[in-house]
Chain A
């Protein structure tokens, strides 16, 4: 019995003597199983746990609290035992008494407090009716001390309710979609069928042409190219090998149409069919037969679409030509993307009807408008080969012309004008958003004006690049000054245009030179000559002055250099003196530093080796800052004596040159 008695105590002590944020589940299980079958053990456990709660360490208290909660939720006897000392327990776990704050690892203490409050709320909810003490403690903390309880139960209920509401809403939406689908089912089918038909026709045309080409190349326009039989043979081989249809001017239209159709198939029909299938799978309707039949049909359609797609790919039109007409495709892709965004934003419920509109009226997206006539032309092309091609060329010419004229605008959200007109639900992208900033409002709407506002084209001011001319003044050591300043070079004054050797291309001189040549004829007047002379004199004077200035500047520079040199010498001298002093004093100091380094290293390694214990949690962590401060303090105190000796000399120097040592 004594052994048994010790058992739960040792188990609990073992479980609480850890730095983990959780109780070891195996130990917890052991405690529970021991306590479950013996009341005396349970009493002992309660006693031990209360003792541990008094321990002056938040981590111990925290783990104890976790064990207490486990037992409290399970055993009635434990509840009655704990409830007797409820106020003490609360003051130890919540720390609401000012003279009994929670003990030291502060981080754990705050966790302990929040956990204790949470547990109290839980206990009050489940057992408050049976224990007045729990109710009292809860009331006291809530109404008198005004602690914030997490309100877990209410929150959970609210979340549950919200989820239910959301599910109801999605169900409703699905049902609506289903209704819509049932109405539009035939239309959708027709549409897809027509696309498939068109594609098949196009493929037929290509194949026929190919055969024509192979059988009688004489009536082909590029007959001369394949004149020799060898060449023809090679070509035949290559064609056979690749089974690929060569695109040329002749069948370009067909290929274009095919490409368009392929794209339509891939990005629209397949996607929408997939969507419809998922809708049908998710929707719950009273009569399953309609749904099942529709689902079956959709699956058939999908399979057919995939087959057609495969055929297209096999014929090689889509992929190869995509690569070839990269530029054009990109353009188209952009347009297409826009259309897609619009449709997906509007929700797939409106997609089919809109699509129908597109086909018939060709209203919004440029891609569709492009495609419809092309499809027609593709069909026509089988009969009349060249005539329409010309028209097409005309249209492309017009287009390129317009394109050349049009200003280039970077692509941005403003260029998408299909979704401008209506409000947009922002949180209905089909994904579950869990926002850690708070609850997600599933009905949030961005109004149309706001979208228009957001899509407004923003223009950035771009500064025009001005090339700044180099100074190009001749330097003493040869070469030209390469400084680039806007107006004034700090060394050579205002920037004046100069020639390659750095001479001034004086406005005056240039003016001078030309008039000289002009004025060389004898009919120049005396006045002119006089003025010319004057001007020359002035120039000479200026030159003189400049030269003098230059001389002076050079002199000043040399002086400055000398001064600098002297200063540097002085500094060096001083530094050397200080170093010498340091070297004299360094014998003892360096020893001390070495020792200290060793000491700290040893300490660190020892702490690292030691297992993390509860006591280590209590110990104040030695941060790098602390270490530095300690080191500084040590060296400072040691230095103070030596420093005092050199103080007098130093100080005067420092006053003179505060930034040098």
Chain B
């Protein structure tokens, strides 16, 4: 830690990579937070969680008892255990008592991406509602043809304000907040839609996953879907970086040309696997072929391609990585698949899942730079490395199935909610050693925070100052921990 700070000071480490190193370290030490308790007022299972995208301060949760609650995750409402445990009570709750509230379970609640003045809820009572946060009143109502499983808004959008709603119905509907009407009705799925996700690279692209096991890409400016992901269409591993790829392609052009021609017409996975060097061939053999297919098939795609499936069973969760290059999907076949958005191929990364919840939609979360995905696996949440599919961490804390998780990239905190009505906070373990006193921790956190996010503040602060703090704090009473000491006690 200190070495890195020294390196940063000397200018050996770039600000971005320094921040990423700190963040990745913090992510790797995530554990159940003892000093942040969220008191959940819900009487049913928690179905969705989201921290607002503007301040990273307000957490919204929705539950099966038709209630929505908002918490301030940065400032505790009261403390317990001599200030050790911060209790975060809900700022407000909207439940059935509210005159215009939902009648049945709320499957998803999310903030309006631009500010926290609005939030959107979708419920099993067939309604999608838009709420004014300050007055907690319904601003807008959208009546859906069936239960609403998931709603989504694009965080990138500058030219539209569309809520994409996946329902029991086979059609995806886009609700326009500006006009209060359905802007689009996207049909193509053969069963209800469990997962809806906007692309994080283009404001026009919507990804939906249905109970029929299909994942469809929609460009909302055009009619119909332009891509259906096929689990049998795969490439081994991740796409190599651009520079390296071009170098590689030069090496292997002679080999791939002959094979690539075959592949473009009939894409079949087993064949390519038997070839053995599909990694190198795929990019080259694919891109021209797909272009032609799209031109030919769109809008009315070839029926064989239209029937492709991404999962056996329903697609229960979708998550686009922050860079917009990959799509993670979870299915009721207890698989997680990583898709290359660009090529539309299954990357065949094996995620070591044990079992996934099959009956409900699950909410995945990702982190950016150490690419990690958090997946609710029954009663635990597992963190997988996106590239390798290896399990980095397992979060055990819930006593019943976990439905949703949300990673706050600002504070590197993970929030999870499950059927046991608890919202748990997983935060990085307090710095490096346990023996550090709280005060010192907060100071250190302040410094690192400034170092990470506001480097200019510390421009002329020397590490010496920190050392002074350390030495002055070492003399403090270290034993003042709480009502009962958490120490070894071997006296019989």
Contacts and interface: CB of A to CB of B under 8 A. Distances in A.
Interface of A: 32, 36, 73-77, 79, 84-88, 90, 126-127, 129-133, 135-137, 139-140, 144
B211 interface: no
B398 A87 contact: yes
A144 B487 contact: no
Nearest to A131: B34
B486 interface: yes
Interface string B15-50: 000000000000000001110010000000000000
Given A126-B484, A144-B421, A132 B399 contact: no
A129 B84 contact: yes
Interface string B78-100: 00110011000000000000000
A557 B484 CA distance: 98
A136 B424 contact: yes
A94 to B, nearest CB: 11
B488 A130 contact: no
A76 B488 contact: yes
Contacts of A126: 484
Contacts of A136: 32, 397, 399, 422, 424
Given A73-B489, A129-B484, A131-B34, A87 B84 contact: no
A133 B489 contact: no
Nearest to A145: B399
Interface of B: 32-34, 37, 80-81, 84-85, 379, 396-399, 420-422, 424, 482-484, 486-490, 492
Nearest to B379: A87
B433 to A, nearest CB: 14
Nearest to B80: A129
13 contacts: A32-B490, A73-B489, A74-B489, A77-B488, A85-B396, A87-B396, A127-B486, A129-B80, A129-B483, A130-B484, A133-B32, A136-B424, A144-B421
A90 B400 CA distance: 13
A136 to B, nearest CB: 6
B271 to A, nearest CB: 43
Q: For the complex of A and B, list the 4 residue pairs with the smallest distance between their C-beta atoms, beginning with the closest.
A: A129-B81, A130-B486, A140-B399, A132-B34
A601 B347 CA distance: 70
A88 B379 CA distance: 11
Contacts of B34: 130-132
Given A73-B489, A75-B488, A76-B488, A87 B482 contact: no
B420 A140 contact: yes
Contact of A132 (B32, B488, B492): B32
Contacts of B85: 129
B490 A76 contact: no
A658 to B, nearest CB: 63
Nearest to A36: B490
A278 to B, nearest CB: 40
B232 to A, nearest CB: 35
A87 to B, nearest CB: 6
A77 B487 CA distance: 9
Contacts of B37: 132, 135
B484 A127 contact: yes
Contacts of A135: 37
B1 to A, nearest CB: 22
A381 B344 CA distance: 133
Summarize A's interface: helix, strand, loop or mixed: helix
B64 to A, nearest CB: 14
Given A126-B484, A127-B484, A133 B490 contact: no
A460 to B, nearest CB: 64
B293 to A, nearest CB: 48
A135 B422 CA distance: 12
A131 B397 CA distance: 11
Nearest to A75: B488
Nearest to A91: B399
A90 B81 CA distance: 24
Contacts of B486: 76, 79, 127, 129-131
Contact of B487 (A36, A76, A87): A76
A61 B147 CA distance: 46
A76 B492 CA distance: 15
B399 A144 contact: yes
Contacts of B483: 129
A132 B33 contact: yes
B251 to A, nearest CB: 48
A133 B425 CA distance: 12
Residue from A79, A129, A135 with most neighbouring chain B CB atoms (10 Å)? A129
Contacts of A88: 396
B352 to A, nearest CB: 18
Nearest to A84: B396
A381 B488 CA distance: 87
Nearest to B482: A129
B400 to A, nearest CB: 8
A75 B492 CA distance: 12
B399 A87 contact: yes
Nearest to A136: B397
Contacts of B32: 132-133, 136
A144 B418 CA distance: 13
A36 B81 CA distance: 28
A132 B84 CA distance: 11
A651 B482 CA distance: 87
A130 B484 CA distance: 9
A99 B276 CA distance: 44
B488 A86 contact: no
Contacts of A73: 489
Among A74, A79, A131, A137, the most chain B Cβ lie within 10 Å of the Cβ of A74
A86 B84 CA distance: 21
Contacts of A131: 34, 486
Nearest to A28: B492
A137 B399 contact: yes
A166 to B, nearest CB: 30
Q: Which among B34, B398, B483 has the highest number of chain A CB atoms within 10 Å?
A: B34
A87 B484 contact: no
Contacts of B422: 136, 139-140
Contact of B490 (A74, A87, A137, A140): A74
B420 A144 contact: yes
B257 to A, nearest CB: 55
B444 to A, nearest CB: 21
Contacts of A85: 396
A88 to B, nearest CB: 7
Contacts of A84: 396
Contacts of B396: 84-88
Contacts of A132: 32-34, 37, 397, 424
A75 B85 CA distance: 22
A75 B487 CA distance: 7
Given A130-B482, A130-B484, 13 more contacts: A32-B490, A36-B490, A76-B486, A76-B488, A85-B396, A90-B399, A129-B81, A129-B84, A129-B483, A129-B484, A130-B34, A132-B397, A140-B420
Nearest to A35: B490
Nearest to B36: A132
Contacts of B398: 87
Contacts of B84: 129-130
Nearest to A144: B420
A91 B285 CA distance: 53
Contacts of B379: 87
Nearest to A73: B489
A131 B484 CA distance: 12
A76 B488 CA distance: 5
Contact of A133 (B80, B397, B421, B488): B397
Contacts of B487: 76
Contacts of B420: 140, 144
Contacts of A74: 488-490
A452 B313 CA distance: 83
Nearest to B33: A132
Contacts of A79: 486
A473 B328 CA distance: 113
A328 B129 CA distance: 101
A90 B397 CA distance: 12
